[in-house]
Amino acid sequence: MQEQETQSWSGLGVGTDRESFLSKIAQQIPEYDPAAAAEAVVCALTERLPGGIVQALFEQLSPDVRELVSRCQKSRDARPEPLDKEDFYLHVANHLNAEPENVRLVLYCVFAALHEQITEAESEKIASQLPDYVKGTWLDSRRGMERPY
């Protein structure tokens, strides 16, 4: 079966449609439902970010990707939740019914797919708001570093 390239989303971000977004995740972590993985990671990420950053992130997503993670949105003036590393990882693990030791790989793969949806400037704004325990994975996935196992 030949893989089909889709056109880039023409909004503020640089990403593609929902099918391409989910395909990118599924290729990297086939053992998880890509839509569930995206929702688990985006919801955990947005809990940890201020509302204004979350709104800017959502504005860059294509409409169908935005719809996929719409329950993760929050108001522009919402403050970030003070989640420690264990809470953050457990949020994702519980959502996916995954082993906690697999969460970093899931984060990396969904983050990599998100990076294809947003501009580098938006990625840098998000990185500046992340705690160290997740910032490294966010930055590594942006740079295409070797994925964790």
pLDDT in tens, 123-147: 999 999 998 889 999 999 988 766 6
Structural domain count of the chain = 1
98 is in which domain, residue-wise? 18-74+82-143
Model pLDDT, residue 71: 85
Whether 126 is in a domain gets the answer: yes
Whether 13 is in a domain gets the answer: no
Whether 5 is in a domain gets the answer: no
Better-predicted residue by pLDDT, 148 or 77: 77
Q: How far apart are CA 143 and CA 149, in angstroms?
A: 17
Q: Indicate yes or no: pTM above 0.95.
A: no
| Token pair listed for 108 | 């990396």
**Tens of pLDDT along 1-57?**
334 444 444 444 556 788 989 999 999 999 999 999 999 999 999 988 998 999 999
Residues 6+ apart with CB under 8 A from 72: 39, 42, 43, 45, 46, 54
**Angle at alpha carbon of residue 109, lines to 11 and 9, rounded to 5°:** 15
Percentage of the chain with pLDDT > 90?
Answer: 39
Whether 130 is in a domain gets the answer: yes
Q: How far apart are CA 114 and CA 21, in angstroms?
A: 8
Model pLDDT, residue 147: 62
Whether 1 is in a domain gets the answer: no
Whether 136 is in a domain gets the answer: yes
CATH number of domain containing 50? 1.10.490.110
